[in-house]
Chains A and B, each alone.
Chain A
Amino acid sequence: MTTPIVPSKRSLFKIAALTVMAAALAGCGKEEAPKKAADAPKAAAPAPAKPEPLKIAFAYVGPVGDGGWTFAHDNGRKAVEKEFGDKVVTSFVEKVPESADAERVIRDMAGQGNKLIFGTTFGYMEPMLKVAADNKGVKFEHATGYKTAENLRTYDSRTYEGAYMAGVIAGKMTKTNTLGVVGSIPIPEVIRNINSFTMGAQSVNPKVKTKVVWVNEWFNPPKETEAATALINGGADVLMQNTDSAAVLKTAQDKGKRAFGWDSDMSAYGPKAHLGSAVINWGPYYIKATRDALEGKWATGSSWWGVKEGAIDMVSIADDVPADIKARVEEIKAGLKAGTYNIWKGPIVDNSGKEVLAKDAVADDKFLGGVNFYVKGVEGKVPGGDKK
């Protein structure tokens, strides 16, 4: 590296100018459309020769090892691999931020020949729409979003069912009648979960009240620890969370309180404190979506799966939970599976006293999608929630 090349200023200019020109020329070329058309048999033609495997890609917002949200999605991916064997080839990119970078990553996935792409967080909505518009031959699945397109559909899970069941357990196990929830971001899904948790608790213990602390992030263990500490200091002895790490459970264990796991089975993180885990099982949906794509039955729409379809469950319930409560949880599960049990059934009153659901009325999905109030028993106001 000691060759005495001393580029003069003039030659530097030349190099720079050439670079710019090269960029200009290259940019003039049209964007390389994903031309790898060599894969994915979507046709149901029963060709005796082995068709090329379907390439599926997953975009994750967090690390696969988070033990929570992304971990659950990755488990779903593994279930697809197990189910379909060499008919599919899956890949994933983790920690894709919910920003302009997402578009590049997803576009690259389409360009690499993936025919089915899953985007596992709300923030990918706009990028996926853009890439979907430019790649009509690729199917896109967006989790927790609300915009669809001809080749983009949305899917979500009824996490509130898990929250409700947790509430039933919590209502019985609390000694101070104060529950705490570590909230992530104040979107309807999370508000709904807080409400369902409270309603579940109130169904066995009408005196229960709930405190909420927001960390404004999905995943931030130190902050979640601080929030959990604040809740415990404020009198809560059973905690739930909508954040994605095991920090809340660990904090509860350290302070001798109880808590629930969320998204995945977290019992190993705090065995003494763990009461149960409200898990999301993405396997069934991912298998269905893959089957749709393989058999050419894929169509746009939106899916919202819960206990009934096997997407939500309450697992690893602690031994010291009384038998009658365990039985009640099983009863609720059976009812949800059969479609005979409704969690959101009137009369429901919000915490300012207003009735939001009349007696015996059952909330439909639209109502549930726009939940923007706290039910009676939850303290405080929904952050930024009074916008109409």
Chain B
Amino acid sequence: MDAYALLVAATLNAGTVLAIAALGLLINEKAGIVNLGAEGMMLCAAIAGFAAVVHTGSDWIGFAAGIGAGALLAALFGLLVIWLNTNQYATGLALSLFGVGFSAFVGIKYVQEKIPERPRFVIPFLSDIPLVGPALFQQHPLVYLTMAFAAGLIWFLHRSRAGLVLRSVGENPASAQALGYPVRRIRLAAVVAGGALCGLAGSYLSLVYTPLWVEGMVAGKGWIALALTTFATWRPARVLLGAYLFGGVTMLQFHLQGAGVEIHSQFLSMLPYVATIVVLALISRNPQWIRINMPASIGKPFYPGS
């Protein structure tokens, strides 16, 4: 029984990385921009955060460095895509490829480095409850913050004026501009916010999840986060659930192995990807549903003044 509790705890941990990145990408896409460079941003943030902690010993600075790295790269992407109107998909891909190489390059010196021991976070009282305690209340604060953030994002998008503006920019930028909103700046703000969150996810990976640096350590999580936003039809709550689902499936394959289940480990590893494809197919099937949920201007460039 304890093992299940611990599995839940591991799932929350693994899912948080995906959730943070996916929520950031959701903000992007609500404004109508698809940023395929998530993988590159997460990697650069991972090495930035790790390097910062190696040099200063402070986790705060580490996370700040990660957020900064993600935001910077996203701003570069935003400039190209919003002001120069380059193709969003190609630019995002370029960002990914560049980020992978650049992070490996910068990270060479840090491969053997170690950072100060990670503190253990335990919520007093609550974590002593049998079963539920170890499952839910022994996580890094960022895990809880992510859930709070998702709730906050729902409020922001659907109950606040700023959120409404953001969504309208994503649905019909021409109308938003006609109403007098600075569409391009709003989009840039969304892109930078999204990048900052991807950066946070990346630094979580290298500071909390696996406190080491090795090149390519994001290992595809950026792409899964991208899939997650579509998978969750652009709703924060569903993004959170989807992220935990994916985190769970990834952890599950190792737990099943440990429990002696004899499926080839490769098929177990395939589960998250096959699951994504299946769900994508199922939800995309209904074009009405997609049209209701998907921001209409995703992927299209915008020309003010036309």
List chain A positions with a Cβ less than 8 A from chain B. 63-67, 71, 180, 211-214, 216, 219-227, 229-235, 245-247, 250, 253-254, 256, 268-269, 272, 379-381, 383
Contacts and interface: CB of A to CB of B under 8 A. Distances in A.
A65 B214 CA distance: 9
B258 A63 contact: no
Interface in B1-19: 2-3, 6-7, 10, 14
A63 B111 contact: yes
B255 interface: yes
A39 to B, nearest CB: 30
A110 B4 CA distance: 55
Interface stretch (B80-88, B186-194, B262-270): B262-270
Contacts of B210: 221-222, 224-225, 247, 250
Given A220-B214, A221-B210, A226-B14, 4 more contacts: A211-B260, A222-B217, A234-B255, A234-B258
B114 interface: yes
13 contacts: A65-B108, A180-B258, A220-B219, A226-B251, A233-B7, A246-B114, A250-B212, A253-B117, A268-B114, A379-B260, A380-B257, A380-B260, A380-B262
Interface of B: 2-3, 6-7, 10, 14, 108-112, 114, 117-118, 120, 205, 209-212, 214-215, 217, 219, 250-251, 254-255, 257-260, 262, 264-266
Contacts of B254: 213, 226-227, 229-230
Given A225-B209, A229-B10, A269-B114, A216 B251 contact: no
A63 B104 CA distance: 11
B67 to A, nearest CB: 20
Contacts of B250: 226
B108 A383 contact: no
Contacts of A64: 111
B3 A235 contact: yes
A245 B258 contact: no
A233 B108 contact: no
Contact of B262 (A63, A272, A381): A381
B193 to A, nearest CB: 26
A229 B265 CA distance: 16
A259 to B, nearest CB: 14
Contacts of B118: 254
B53 to A, nearest CB: 14
Contacts of A214: 257, 265
A383 B265 contact: yes
Contacts of A253: 117
A67 B255 contact: no
B10 A216 contact: no
